[in-house]
Structure 1
């Protein structure tokens, strides 16, 4: 059993220093949590005006003051922090999620399914459906719009993920409707860290939540307030893939029937 936390807040578009100050302060309230999750693009905001702005705010993780701050906190508190991040790699930008622990940067997931204007700035991620064993649980990562594509979630679950971490900048309730089904179909916990506030014409709807492997909402934030959610999680509950005494979510699959002439 361990405690997971979500920090739901309103990132300031383009003001990395302000966001670092806000996040640093909020992290003082999550020292009791072994795992802390922040929203998508938490340090930069989301709705970039153009490619130049997106590029000016992108960082190489190893050179980022934001990543250093997260590492310092993770080291001091002996915890793991996951945050959305505007990642620069060579000439390319990625909408990424970083896993940072006491040892430093442990893993990166680059968003595969880009939404709307993200396609103007970011390159879609390839591969990277990794499961990370952090001692007290195994986790994978997805980002925001990835919720609409079930295949990666199933792959992460089949690879042994107990939790799938989901930094987000969600605008509608569609994900909140879909995610309980995804959790149930894969018998995994889902930790969705959404943001609040507005940027331009975009209004983000909060409702960050943690879902059980049965698809139940264990804790959920409001739609418009800065909040910290905390929830005790028993990762062994995600090891049980039985739906009934005779039905297993993976063993009952018939993939040979899903392709080719059988479709």
Structure 2
């Protein structure tokens, strides 16, 4: 058995130091997790009025106080951590999820599908959909609105992901309805780490949750409070891709019939 979990909290817009302190206070509650997931843009908050406002609190990964803090926490707690951050790469901003572990920085995913005003601030991701081998499992990162697109789930599933870390700033409960289907169709564990609270005209819904490969939500947070949860999972459940004795979610695909998709 392994342990996976999430941290749900309310970031303060543009205040990196305050957000680090908030996360630091919550980390001990999730220290037993082998893998724990934080929300989208956990470093900075979300609802920037302008790109310039976002730029002021963006960081380059190699020079990032936030990344250094997350790495130090992973080493201290001997665990893997996925966290959303506001990434600066030259003059370009990306809505990024990083993966770190006891050994340090492992990799990143840059959000591909941008939501509403994110399109005015960030550039769509350019690093594809990586899957990372972290020993006890293979994992990938998706960010918030990515969940709408079934293609991304299928790609990471076919690349061997056992667990998808879904760092989010969700404002509706649609994800709780849709994501269990993706967990079942691709036989994955999915950790959706959401935030809560209001920034400007946006209210975020909390209700972080964990879904198993049988489409069951096995843990869910409240909508309006800090929450840290860690659950036991059997990773072998994500490696059995059969839905019946004769039907496999990947082997039974017939790509020659899917040409219209592209």
| TM-score by shorter chain over 0.5 | yes
The answer to whether the aligner puts 1:258 opposite 2:261 as a matched pair is no
Cα deviation, residue 128, structure 1: 2.5
Other-structure match for 2:244 = 244
Other-structure match for 2:213 = 213
Cα deviation, residue 63, structure 1: 1.0
Number of corresponding residues: 262
Other-structure match for 1:14 = 14
CA distance in 2, matches of 1:207, 1:166: 13
The answer to whether the aligner puts 1:117 opposite 2:120 as a matched pair is no
SS in 1 for 2:126: coil
Other-structure match for 1:227 = 227
CA distance in 2, matches of 1:102, 1:7: 18
TM-score normalised according to structure 2 size = 0.97
Other-structure match for 1:155 = 155
Contact 2:30-2:229 within 8 A present in 1 as well: no
Structure 1: which 4+ aligned runs deviate by more than 3 Å?
none
RMSD, aligned α-carbons = 1.3
Cα deviation, residue 126, structure 1: 2.2
Q: Following superposition of structure 1 onto structure 2, how do residues 53-132 of structure 1 map, counting pairs within 5 Å? A: 53-132=53-132
Cα deviation, residue 127, structure 1: 3.8
Other-structure match for 1:172 = 172
Contact 2:32-2:230 within 8 A present in 1 as well: no
CA distance in 1, matches of 2:122, 2:195: 20
The answer to whether the aligner puts 1:48 opposite 2:77 as a matched pair is no
Cα deviation, residue 252, structure 1: 1.3
